[in-house]
Structure 1
Amino acid sequence: MRVYISADMEGATGLVGAHDVQPGAPDYEHGRAMMTEDVNAAVRGALSAGATRVLVNDAHGSMRNMLAHRLHPRAELVRGKPKRMGMLEGLDGSFDAVMCVGYHARAGALGVLSHSFMGHEIEDMWLDDRPMGEFGFVHATSTALGVPVVMLSGDDAACEEATAWDARVVTAPVKYARDRFSARLRPVAEARGAIEQAAAEGAGRAASQGRPPGTDAPATLAVRWQSATVAAQLEAIPGAVLRDSRTIEVAGPVPGLFRLFGLFMRVAASITDQQPYC
């Protein structure tokens, strides 16, 4: 069994603020260690359920956060950027399961460090008019590639978002949001045990339930930006149209939309100077 882990940082055990997840901030090095050990727990769970290969993609920010020397020795790591598929770089139909470790709730949710991809620059996103955040887009893309998403760890808001999107996803809440920058934390050993158990259960389900049929059917992605300037610039991309002054819309197969969205973000980053988590 081949398992793919997409590892974000905001939903990692113990982390609650921007100072935990941004390079150069006072607690960033601690945050890197916490992120890495959460991933190690998921790797252990996947291996215990029969995984023969585990590929981990560092999917947060600079995508150079995880401590490679502390990663489980049986896991491979995709590190750095740019990546054509961003949070799903390296995923293809040869994998049997996707796990999302350290994920957070979408923009507008009352979850720890909640946002959708770009701090507060993205106000909302939809896929075929269904509201989504990072997890929803990752799930839809993985499913289109024929690989099931079987597990997620993060705060309780992220876990609820995941099960609302797909009730079959096994979740491991490692903290409970009090507000956007505060949480009640599970004891570290308990949280890591929950991640390991969820990963093992998710991998087991993937082995017994089989794979979803992949699809290249078209879908419609819509993104509402904080700035009308971003939407106006993105309209120049062939196929992109304005739904309103701040919402851009584009249609196509979901994996292609996921890659195109990465281009959207690069354009947005080049013309805005917004700091995340403001």
Structure 2
Amino acid sequence: MRVYISADMEGITGLVDAEDVQPSGRDYELGRLMMTEDVNAAISGALSGGATDVLVNDAHGPMRNLFPGELHPRARLIKGRPKPMSMLEGLEADFGIVLCVGFHARAGAPGVMSHSFMGHEIEDMWLDGRPVGEIGLLHAAAAAIGVPVGLLTGDDAACAEMTEWDSGVTTVAVKTARDRFAAELRPPAESRAAIQAAAHSAVAGLLASPREPDLAQKPKALAVRWQSAAVATHLLGIPGVTRTDSRTVEVTARMPDLYRLLGIFLRVATTLTNQAPYC
């Protein structure tokens, strides 16, 4: 089985603050190491569970966070940006499972470093009227490609969010949120043992009982409420985008085309704003 790992950073073992996850942060280099070790735990578990090939996509911020020389030698790495499919770059229908490592809750949720793609610049998002963040959109896009999500690691809020989307996904809480920049941390050795065991079980379980992909996906409506009305105004230049109020735009398309289109939204917004992600 080919295994795909999407690796974010806010939900990594031991990390609680922007100083841990941004290149300018004083603890960023430690954060990179912690991220690499969590991902290695997932790789080891996937391989022992029956994976024949593992592709890791560095999906956080600059997407240059993981240490290639410290990554498990049997895994390949997608590093850098821009990438048309962003957090799902390289995922194809011949993969058997997606493992999400280090994820966080959506904007407005009471989770560690919770946000949706652009710090506080995106205030809210909805998919077919349902509040959504990075977790829900990734799940929907992967399903449209035909690959199930089998595992998510992060804080307890991220795990609860994934369970709301798909109760069949195994989750591992590596920390419990106390506030947006504070958490009760699980010991690293214990956390990584849990990630490895869960990745093993997710891959082995899917090999034993494969899920049938649901490829009959109807078009979905994505609405995004921005902090800046200027972003909404400029996005109206994209065919199919409408505005529901001064700061909220909506577009309807099939997944994963909708996921790619969101990437264009983010690039437009980036040119118009200069906001720190965790202000």
Give the TM-score, by structure 1 length: 0.98
Match of 1:66 in 2: 66
Match of 1:175 in 2: 175
Separation in structure 2 between the aligned mates of residue 45 and residue 243 of structure 1, nearest angstrom:
45
Shift of 1:259: 0.4
Residues 8-38 of structure 1: per-residue CA shift (max 9 Å, x gap): 0000000000000000211000000000000
Separation in structure 1 between the aligned mates of residue 216 and residue 47 of structure 2, nearest angstrom:
29
Separation in structure 1 between the aligned mates of residue 117 and residue 234 of structure 2, nearest angstrom:
18
Separation in structure 1 between the aligned mates of residue 215 and residue 46 of structure 2, nearest angstrom:
23
Separation in structure 2 between the aligned mates of residue 225 and residue 32 of structure 1, nearest angstrom:
30
SS at match of 1:211: coil
Residues 132-175 of structure 1: per-residue CA shift (max 9 Å, x gap): 11010000000011100010000000000000110001001000
Whether the 8 Å contact between 1:216 and 1:254 is mirrored in structure 2 is: yes
Match of 1:164 in 2: 164
Change (3 A) 1:267 1:153: same
Shift of 1:131: 0.9
Separation in structure 2 between the aligned mates of residue 28 and residue 243 of structure 1, nearest angstrom:
39
Question: Equivalent residues in 2 for 1:4-43 (5 A)?
Answer: 4-43=4-43
SS at match of 2:81: coil
Separation in structure 1 between the aligned mates of residue 112 and residue 267 of structure 2, nearest angstrom:
25
Residues 61-105 of structure 1: per-residue CA shift (max 9 Å, x gap): 000000000000000000001101000000010100001000000
Match of 2:130 in 1: 130
Match of 1:277 in 2: 278
SS at match of 2:173: strand
Match of 2:48 in 1: 48
Match of 1:251 in 2: 252
Separation in structure 2 between the aligned mates of residue 169 and residue 158 of structure 1, nearest angstrom:
12
Whether the 8 Å contact between 1:19 and 1:28 is mirrored in structure 2 is: yes
1:18 partner amino acid: A
Whether the 8 Å contact between 1:147 and 1:214 is mirrored in structure 2 is: no
Structure 1: tracts of 5 or more residues without a match: none
Match of 2:228 in 1: 227
1:185 partner amino acid: L
Shift of 1:198: 1.3
Separation in structure 2 between the aligned mates of residue 44 and residue 52 of structure 1, nearest angstrom:
12
Shift of 1:210: 2.4
Corresponding position: 1:103 with 2:103: yes
Separation in structure 1 between the aligned mates of residue 2 and residue 210 of structure 2, nearest angstrom:
15
Separation in structure 1 between the aligned mates of residue 113 and residue 48 of structure 2, nearest angstrom:
31
Moved more, 210-219 or 22-31: 210-219
Q: How many aligned residue pairs are there?
A: 278
Change (3 A) 1:78 1:215: farther
Residues 197-233 of structure 1: per-residue CA shift (max 9 Å, x gap): 1111211232213232224521111111111111111
SS at match of 1:254: coil
1:212 partner amino acid: P
Equivalent pairs: percent with the same residue? 63
Match of 2:149 in 1: 149
Separation in structure 2 between the aligned mates of residue 255 and residue 20 of structure 1, nearest angstrom:
31
Separation in structure 1 between the aligned mates of residue 58 and residue 227 of structure 2, nearest angstrom:
27
Structure 2: tracts of 5 or more residues without a match: none
